[in-house]
Amino acid sequence: MQTQSADRPNALTVDVEDYFQVSALAPRIPRDTWDTRECRIERNLDRILQLFDQSGAQATFFTLGWIAERYPHAIRRIVDAGHELASHGYGHERVTDLAPAAFRADIERAQRILEDLSGAPVRGYRAPSFSIGEGNLWALEVLREAGLEYSSSIYPVHHDHYGMPKAPRHPHRPMPAGVLELPPATLRMGGRNLPAAGGGYFRLLPYVMSRGALRRIGALDGMPAVFYFHPWEIDPDQPRVSGLGARSRFRHYVNLHRMESRLKRLLQDFRWDRMDRVFAAELAAPEDHARVTGEDNVRTA
């Protein structure tokens, strides 16, 4: 059995978007109304940065260009605190809804904004709603052509809105000419991949289950886990959107009031660092050594 190196932390990531930009709420919140909404991102980012500073955690912030363009001071605070600034695209459009040319325009627009604010190259990208999968792997080649080095966009799970369950669970290069993929954490159990990377699952399940899953990933796989959450998840007082279906309402609002306390425990129970540092060896490795075979995806827990 492999064990994760004691000096190698897990990767902590934040998807920087506000509550009204979530894909599940899109049917009730037209894109052209975004500028009329109460944006709560500055308050939430300030609180997250405070929590990270108190725990000594470093993270990667996958940031929408739309947010960075309107709240540059908040983004500079992320960079000044030593965190990695990465791309979440410009307008939170799912890659499955974009043609290659439109996708390229979206990521290049976001890159220009983020790099101007940070003064450093943007290396990483996460697709909105993990919307890269088997049908649009071409996006990984477009990312590399645009100068990015890695993606964290392919979630190897079954889900009604995203997922590529047969994808490897560890760092790999799905397209020879594409960027390195660093997938969100999953636990292999009972012949299937169980989500263990955060988001709604982290709010829904008891904390001890999430902690146990992350510990087992480190012990069994010998690799760091990639965890994520959103700033709006620590904001239980956010405006409620009316007219949502039961499933969307549950997914978005379940246990928001418990999220901050759970996040504090998570920051205490594990060591956390930026994606570019946690996976520095994989990013520096020759391409052939960065690939993971299908056999790695079917390890049993």
Look at strands 60-63 and 84-87 and give their pairing. Answer: parallel
Q: Where are the beta strands (DSSP E) in 179-284?
A: 180-181, 186-189, 192-195, 226-229, 272-273
**2 part of a folded domain:** no
**3 part of a folded domain:** no
pLDDT 10s digits, 37-84: 999 999 999 999 999 999 999 999 999 999 999 999 999 999 999 999
Specify which residues 35 forms β-bridges with: none
The terminus-to-terminus CA distance of the chain in angstroms comes to 10
**243 part of a folded domain:** yes
**37 part of a folded domain:** yes
pLDDT 10s digits, 206-237: 999 999 999 999 998 989 999 999 999 999 99
Rounded CA-CA distance 110/282 in Å is 25
Supply 38's token pair: 């109460």
In this prediction, residue 297 carries a pLDDT of 44
Question: In whole angstroms, what separates CA 125 from the centre of its chain?
Answer: 9
pLDDT 10s digits, 153-209: 999 987 667 769 999 999 999 999 999 999 999 999 888 999 999 999 999 999 999
**301 part of a folded domain:** no
288 vs 158 pLDDT, higher one: 158
pLDDT 10s digits, 167-177: 999 999 999 99
Contacts of 76 (CB under 8 A, 6+ apart): 117, 118
Contacts of 117 (CB under 8 A, 6+ apart): 68, 72, 75, 76, 79, 85
**4 part of a folded domain:** no
* CATH number, domain containing residue 82: 3.20.20.370
- Give me the numbers of helices (H) and strands (E) for the chain, helices first please: 11, 10
**276 part of a folded domain:** yes
How many CB atoms are closer than 10 A to CB 121? 12
Residues in the chain: 301
Specify which residues 272 forms β-bridges with: 10
Residue 100 in contact with residue 142, Cβ under 8 Å? yes
4 vs 232 pLDDT, higher one: 232
User: What's the pTM value of the predicted model, to 2 decimals?
Assistant: 0.93
Domain that holds residue 284: 10-296
**E strand or H helix at 15, and its extent?**
strand 10-16
In this prediction, residue 190 carries a pLDDT of 87
| Domain total in the chain | 1
- The stretches of 34-137 forming alpha helices (DSSP H) are 41-55, 65-70, 72-80, 100-118
**163 part of a folded domain:** yes
Supply 232's token pair: 């709006």
